[in-house]
Amino acid sequence: MALLEIRDVTRRFGDFVAVDAVSLSIDAGEFFTLLGPSGCGKTTLLRMIAGFDQPDSGRIELDGRDMTGVPPEERNVHTVFQSYALFPHMTVAQNIAFPLRMAGCPAADVAPRVQEALDDVSLVGMDRRFPHELSGGQRQRVALARALVNRPKLLLLDEPLAALDAKLREKMQLELITLQKEIGVTFVYVTHDQEEALALSHRIAVMNKGRVEQLDQPQTIYSAPRSRFVADFIGECNLLDCTVQSSGDATLQLDVDGLGGVRATGPDTAKGRTGQRGTLALRPEKVSIARELTAADCTNRFAGKVFDYLYTGDVTLYIVEVDGGRRLEVMLPNNAVGRSSKFFEPGDAVQVGWRDDAGHFLED
Amino acid sequence: MSPRAQKWLVTGPPLVYLLLFFAIPTLIMVVASFRYAGDYGGLAPLFGSGDPDELAGLTLESYQRFFGDPIYLELFGKSFVYAGVTTVACLALAYPLALTIARSPKKWRDLLVLLVILPFWSNFLIRVYAWMIILGPQSAFARGFNGLLALFGAGPVPLLFSPIAVLIGLVYVHLPFMVLPLYANLEKHDPALLDAAQDLGARGWARFWRVTFPLSLPGVYAGAALVFIPALGIFAIPDILGGTDSILIGNLIKQQFLDSRDWPFGGTLSIVLTAIAIAAAGLAAWFARRRPQ
């Protein structure tokens, strides 16, 4: 049985439907992420799981028990807030001891458990500091230790890394994965950062306008997005309007507006539906770029010229204008084997191409 | 401009202000408290004409009088009790009000604060005289109060010209001085802290006593100082609402200057009061600083 069952939950604020008939099932020990742009309903859903808000309809079950009307203080669920919400008048040790004291933990057990929690987040020796004496990363760890000290069934994390700089964020991501594995508590993680979601999660629910657009493992979300929204939201993606011309065993023959014939994979439902309109989703890193491409590598090939490029260190993102006017984004690793050190310059004549399984057809 | 000149530009004006409005008047009082009273009020000359019968120069006479008769220290003690009770009553009344304002919707807050300071726009004495009517024997309030007492078999008590009336007046006049610093503090609290406390298992009262109240202590200390110190020296309220037995140290000081015309003794009483007020303010500041914000 799943640890957390969200059954057909809807939450309205006036005319605005923040969460629209969402059903999710989260297993014990899972690192589950709610991913979506701001206003997609992910935080509202999180607050309902925590108990700060109640669904207008539907219900939330934790460990088989209906949580309707159970206030936050009586739920075995803790939250790591975006602002951390550490108590400024308490030391690190007092902050971490807070949930233990509230739960009526015997005084003699408090100190050793606080030490254990400090050890879990590598903050030993910091117990007498006040929150304002800590760095952003350390505050984050105190918030984690405080939320985990009495081993909740479920830990909710509301954009916990948003306030940290990029370098520290990466470090904390690795620590979060390790911590979650070590203590085995189920994490429900809310973020708008798709890279973070892909890096951390066992499963991701991509949310948009209060609905779950896709619920899958990170690899599936990335390589086989189910809607134009998901493809656009997760990573860089070329989204090209197209029509299904015919379908083979494994691939679809598409007519891409302003480009021409392209072969791509697609959902089974699109098979045989000639004339079906949709979107070709094509990841920039799956597109090759060279002066001359061979048919062996790229079954779909187009000539064009470089319009512009973005150099980002490890990769360069080229914007190529294909003959016919379409612009495609093409990503080229800067350390690619056999790649000349010379960049393509804007105006250079190039060929772009990709394999049949690189593109993915999405029905409208 | 040199850094030295800049420093003086910043610290200079407040320094001049303190010197002009605090240090010099206090110093005048300190000197006055060591002099003799003049024959017709005011002070005797500092340098005498040489006449052996003439009182001139400096003396400890006033301090001897103050410490020689326990009645003066008793009056100080009584004033302390009145100021203390006023402070506690103001805190008890102001805290729920300040919390309600701080947690009401943002668009209402300024209006509610305005209502708190609205009484300042009418004269202080008029507002205290209004209490004479409210507490007077014919008022609905006094009748209702005594009617209530009668239900429990207690005889009617006069409200006006009693210690109760003085306390009501003191609390009424000083209440805004407690509400405002408390509100200023409570309004800044991060609501996420209460969410966090609730999330971590704290029920209503635990959230208040472990999060809201400790965080509001700087506001409590500021409010307590703003109420306690003026309440300690006030004379108008006991004059108007109090009976003959309700005089406080402020009344005694006023008497020395206006009625008895004994400036040195009035000065002595003022100096002791100022010393106590500074000690109280220092204590409040010290308590407030011990708490990190």
How many angstroms separate the CA of residue B190 from the nearest CA in chain A?
8
B191 touches chain A (CB under 8 A): no
Q: How far apart are CA A172 and CA A142, in angstroms?
A: 13
Domain-embedded: residue B134 = yes
**Residues from chain A contacting residue B200 (CB–CB below 8 Å):** 73, 78, 98-99, 102, 146-147
Q: Over the Cα atoms of chain B, what is R_g? A: 24
**Residues from chain A contacting residue B291 (CB–CB below 8 Å):** 89
* Nearest Cβ partner for A130 among B193, B196, B292: B292
> Which has the minimum average pLDDT: A43-57, A192-206, B238-252?
B238-252
A299 pLDDT band, cuts 50/70/90, is confident
CB contact under 8 Å between B200 and A78, yes or no, is yes
A84 pLDDT band, cuts 50/70/90, is very high
Q: Please, which residues bridge with residue A203 across strands?
A: A32
Instruction: Report the relative pairing of strands A211-216 and A57-62 from DSSP bridges.
Output: unpaired
The pLDDT tens digits for B134-184 are 988 888 888 888 888 888 887 788 888 888 899 999 999 999 999 999 999
Nearest chain B Cα to A147, which residue? B200
Q: Which CATH number fits domain A236-363: 3.40.50.720, 2.40.50.100, 2.40.50.140, 2.60.120.260?
A: 2.40.50.100
In this structure, what token pair is assigned to residue A335?
């350390």
- pLDDT for the residue numbered A248: 76
> Which has the minimum average pLDDT: A178-187, A224-233, A258-267, B265-274?
A258-267
Candidates B190, B194, B198, B199: best to mutate against A (most CBs of A within 10 A) is B199
Q: Hey, what amino acid is at A281?
A: A
The yes-or-no verdict on residue A44 having pLDDT over 80 is yes
Q: How far apart are CA A351 and CA A292, in angstroms?
A: 6
- pLDDT for the residue numbered B293: 44
In this structure, what token pair is assigned to residue A79?
């939250």
> Which has the minimum average pLDDT: A64-73, A97-106, A292-301, B167-176?
A292-301
**Residues from chain B contacting residue A147 (CB–CB below 8 Å):** 200
Nearest chain A Cα to B216, which residue? A89
* Nearest Cβ partner for A52 among B195, B214, B293: B195
Domain residue spans of chain A: 4-229, 236-363
Q: What count of CB pairs under 8 Å joins A to B?
A: 60
Q: How far apart are CA A86 and CA A96, in angstroms?
A: 9
Q: How far apart are CA B230 and CA B273, in angstroms?
A: 11
Domain A4-229 CATH assignment equals 3.90.226.10? no
Picking from B106, B116, B288, B113, the residue whose alpha carbon sits closest to that of residue B191 is B106
A31 touches chain B (CB under 8 A): no
The pLDDT tens digits for A10-42 are 999 999 999 999 999 999 999 999 999 998 999
Residue B204's domain spans which residues? 71-290
**Residues from chain B contacting residue A98 (CB–CB below 8 Å):** 197, 200, 202, 210
CB contact under 8 Å between B293 and A88, yes or no, is yes
- pLDDT for the residue numbered A229: 93
Q: Which helix (H) or strand (E) holds A158?
A: strand A154-158
Phi, psi at A58, each rounded to 5°: 85, 175
Task: Decide if B230 contacts B240 (C-beta within 8 A).
Answer: no
Domain-embedded: residue B19 = no
B199 touches chain A (CB under 8 A): yes
B215 touches chain A (CB under 8 A): yes
Q: Name the domain count of chain B.
A: 1
Picking from A46, A332, A311, A51, the residue whose alpha carbon sits closest to that of residue A189 is A46
- pLDDT for the residue numbered B195: 95
Q: How far apart are CA A269 and CA A90, in angstroms?
A: 58
- pLDDT for the residue numbered A336: 63
Instruction: Report the relative pairing of strands A4-13 and A31-35 from DSSP bridges.
Output: unpaired
Q: How far apart are CA A340 and CA A321, in angstroms?
A: 22
CB contact under 8 Å between B192 and A83, yes or no, is yes
The pTM of this model reads: 0.82
Q: How far apart are CA B161 and CA B149, in angstroms?
A: 18
Candidates A87, A91, A132, A159: best to mutate against B (most CBs of B within 10 A) is A87
Q: How far apart are CA B257 and CA A142, in angstroms?
A: 62
Q: How far apart are CA A98 and CA B82, in angstroms?
A: 39
- pLDDT for the residue numbered A314: 83
Domain-embedded: residue B187 = yes
DSSP-derived secondary structure for A25-84: EE-TT-EEEEE--TTSSHHHHHHHHHTSS--SEEEEEETTEE-TT--GGGSSEEEE-TT-
Nearest 5°: the CA angle B228, B232, B236 is 120
A233 pLDDT band, cuts 50/70/90, is very high
- pLDDT for the residue numbered A341: 55
A72 touches chain B (CB under 8 A): yes
The pLDDT tens digits for A127-152 are 999 999 999 889 999 999 999 999 99
First to last CA, chain A: 35
Q: Which residues of chain B fall short of a pLDDT of 50?
A: 293
Domain-embedded: residue B240 = yes
A294 pLDDT band, cuts 50/70/90, is confident
Task: Decide if A78 contacts B200 (C-beta within 8 A).
Answer: yes
Picking from A75, A224, A214, A82, the residue whose alpha carbon sits closest to that of residue A153 is A75
Nearest chain A Cα to B207, which residue? A102
CB contact under 8 Å between B196 and A81, yes or no, is yes
Q: Could you check whether A4-229 and A236-363 share the same CATH topology?
A: no
Picking from A190, A102, A82, the residue whose alpha carbon sits closest to that of residue A152 is A102
Q: What is the dihedral of CA B288, B289, B290, B292, to 10 degrees?
A: 100
CB contact under 8 Å between B193 and A85, yes or no, is yes
Domain-embedded: residue B48 = no
The residue that leads in pLDDT, B45 or A289, is A289
CATH number at residue B215: 1.10.3720.10
How many angstroms separate the CA of residue B178 from the nearest CA in chain A?
22
The pLDDT tens digits for B138-152 are 888 888 888 888 888
Mean pLDDT computed over A115-120: 92
The pLDDT tens digits for A318-364 are 999 998 888 999 998 887 655 555 578 888 899 999 998 889 999 87
**Would you say the C-alpha torsion A50, A51, A52, A53 has a positive or negative sign?**
positive
Starting at the edge strand found earlier in the chain, the sheet holding A65-66 runs A16-26, A4-13, A57-62, A65-66
Q: How far apart are CA A159 and CA A173, in angstroms?
A: 12
CB contact under 8 Å between A71 and B293, yes or no, is no
> Percentage of chain A with pLDDT > 90?
64
DSSP-derived secondary structure for B123-191: -HHHHHHHHHHHHSTTSHHHHHHHHHHHHTTPPP---TTSHHHHHHHHHHHHHHHHHHHHHHHHTTS-H
B188 touches chain A (CB under 8 A): no
